[in-house]
Amino acid sequence: MMPSKLVLIGCGHSHSVALLSWLHQSAPLRHCPIADITLITPNAQTIYSGSVPGHLAGWWNREACAVNVADLAESLGIKVVFDEAIGLDLAQQCVMCRNHDPIAFDTLSLDIGSTPQIPTMASQRIIPMKPMGLLLNSLDPYLILGPSKTSPETLPRTTLSMAIVGGGLGGVEVALSLKERLGNQLDLSLICRSPTIAPAQFKTIQTLLTQELKSRSIQVYLNTVVNSVQENTNGVNLILNSGESSSNLSSNLSCDVSLWATQATSPQWIRDSGLMTDDRGFVLVDRTLRSVSHSNIFASGDIATIQNSPQPKAGVLAVREGKILGHNLRRSLASQSLKSFNPQSRYLNLVSLGDRRAVASYGEFSMTATLIQPWLWHWKKTIDDSFVLGLNLR
Ligand SMILES: Cc1cc2nc3c(=O)[nH]c(=O)nc-3n(C[C@H](O)[C@H](O)[C@H](O)COP(=O)(O)OP(=O)(O)OC[C@H]3O[C@@H](n4cnc5c(N)ncnc54)[C@H](O)[C@@H]3O)c2cc1C
C-alpha cells in the first residue's frame, strides 16, 4: 500500500511546534511508514515574533529570532520544498506552487500566518509587518543607521522619518523598539484607527503604553485612517482622515518609509480555494483544527479561525494549537480519534517596551508597576530564548 501523503504548507509557530512534538515522540516519524510528508516553505528559517522587538531595539541579532525549520523537518525525514503555495485544487487534491509542479496530498495542513492589509501599490517604502522575515529584510538598511547594543560601531548620523500604520500591540511594540534603536535619528508617527492605542487591551495597559509613546516623542494619531498613499521621490505621502465621520479632517503625512501593522488578512488564494472561511477569509476549523468543510485539511495559527470560538491572532495561541495539531495529524493518518483544542479566553501577554522593560497582561489583570518592568523583560526574554533554542537543533 502507498503511504498516505501529508503536505504541510508554511512553517510558522504552529507547524514548528507540531514538528518538535513529533521529534519528541517515542516513535519518531522517520520510523513511521504511514506517511510520506512534504513541507512547503519559502525559507529554511522562520522568525519567532516574540523575539523581534528586542532585535529591532538592538539588544540581540537576527539569529536569536530565527528557527531553522528546514533542519527540524529534515531531521524527521520530511521532504522540504523551498517554495510558496499559490493555490489549492481541492478536487485533484494538490497544492499549486510558484516554482514547482503541483504537489499531491491526501492530508493537508496549513500554517501560513496572516498578513496586514496594505495599499495595493508596490513600493519598497511600504513595508508590511508580516511575514516577519520580509519585515526584517526590509528594515535592515534602516537599522544600520542606529548602533546595535551587540556591535555599537559609530555610523554616519542621518535622520529617518517613519509612519507606523496600525496601533495594535504589534505596532506599538515595534514603534518603541525602533525608537530605542534609532533615538533622535528617527522621527516616528503611529497612526491608529481607534480612539485609543492597543484597543484590544485593558485600560491600564493602554494608559501605560500611551505614556511610553509620549515620553519617546512618538507622535500618535488616534481616530485616524490612511485614505490613500502616494509615492514621491523622497518617500511616501499618506493622506489621513481624522475624527468622527461628521467632522472628518484630511491631512498629509510625509515620511521616508511606512510600516503597516493593520488588521490581519488571509491571502486571496485561500479565499478562492473553496475551503469554508470566516468573513475575513480565514479557514474555518473545528476544535480539532480540522476544516469544517474538508475533513482531510487542517489549519492552525493565524490562518485558522475556530468556528464559534474565534481567538485573537496571536503567536501564543498558534503555539498552543501547534501541540494539538501535531497530535491530531498523526492520529488522523492512523484513522484514530482526534483531540480538541480548548480555547482560553485569557492568556499571558508580555509586551516589550523596547528598553529592557516589559509589561504583562492576563485577561483584565495587568502588571505594569515600574519596579517589576525590568524583571518582566527578563522573564519574557527567558521564555522567548528557550522557545527559539528548543526549536533549533544545532
Ligand atoms: C511585531 C510583532 C510582534 C508580535 N509579538 C507577539 C507576541 O509577543 N506574542 C504573541 O502572542 N503574538 C505576537 N505577535 C503575533 C504573532 O506574530 C502571530 O500571531 C504568529 O506569528 C502567528 O503564527 P503562525 O503559526 O500562524 O504563522 P507565522 O509564524 O506567521 O508563520 C507563517 C509562515 O508561513 C510562511 N508562509 C506564508 N505564506 C506561505 C505560502 N503561501 N506558502 C508557504 N509558506 C508560506 C511564512 O513565510 C512563515 O514562515 C506579534 C506580531 C508582530 C507583527
Domains, the chain, with CATH or none: 4-42+83-114+266-333 (3.50.50.60), 117-263 (3.50.50.60)
Q: Is the CB of 264 under 6 A from ligand 1?
A: no
Q: Provide the pLDDT for residue 157.
A: 56
C-alpha cell at 182: 534609532
Residue located nearest, by CA, to atom 30 of ligand 1: 113
Alpha helices in the chain (DSSP H): 13-23, 52-56, 69-75, 132-143, 169-182, 203-215, 268-271, 315-333, 373-391
Residue 262 CA to ligand 1 centre (angstroms): 14
pLDDT tens for the 394 residues of the chain, in order: 677 999 999 999 999 999 999 988 765 555 555 679 999 999 999 999 999 999 999 999 999 999 999 999 999 999 999 999 999 999 999 999 999 999 999 999 999 999 999 988 878 899 999 999 999 999 988 887 666 666 655 455 578 999 999 999 999 999 999 999 999 999 999 999 999 999 989 999 999 999 999 999 999 999 999 999 999 888 899 999 987 655 667 889 999 999 999 999 999 999 999 999 999 999 999 999 999 999 999 999 999 999 998 888 999 999 999 999 999 999 998 889 999 999 887 888 999 999 999 999 988 888 888 889 999 999 999 999 999 999 998 7
Q: Is the CB of 315 under 6 A from ligand 1?
A: yes
Residue 264 CA to ligand 1 centre (angstroms): 10
Mutate to test the pocket of ligand 1, among 112, 178, 262, 384 (most ligand atoms within 8 A of CB): 112
Residue 242 CA to ligand 1 centre (angstroms): 30
Element (H, E) at 130: none
Q: Provide the pLDDT for residue 371.
A: 84
Residue 131 CA to ligand 1 centre (angstroms): 6
For residue 280, the number of C-alpha atoms closer than 13 Å in the C-beta half-sphere is 18
Q: Is the CB of 166 under 6 A from ligand 1?
A: no
Q: Is the CB of 52 under 6 A from ligand 1?
A: yes
Q: How many angstroms separate the CA atoms of 28 and 195, rounded?
A: 51
Q: What is the CA radius of gyration of the chain?
A: 21
Contacts of residue 167, Cβ cutoff 8 Å, sequence gap at least 6:
190, 191, 192, 193, 194, 196, 197, 198, 199, 220, 222
Task: Tell me the whole-structure pTM to 2 decimals.
Answer: 0.93
Residue 105 CA to ligand 1 centre (angstroms): 24
Mutate to test the pocket of ligand 1, among 8, 14, 16, 49 (most ligand atoms within 8 A of CB): 49
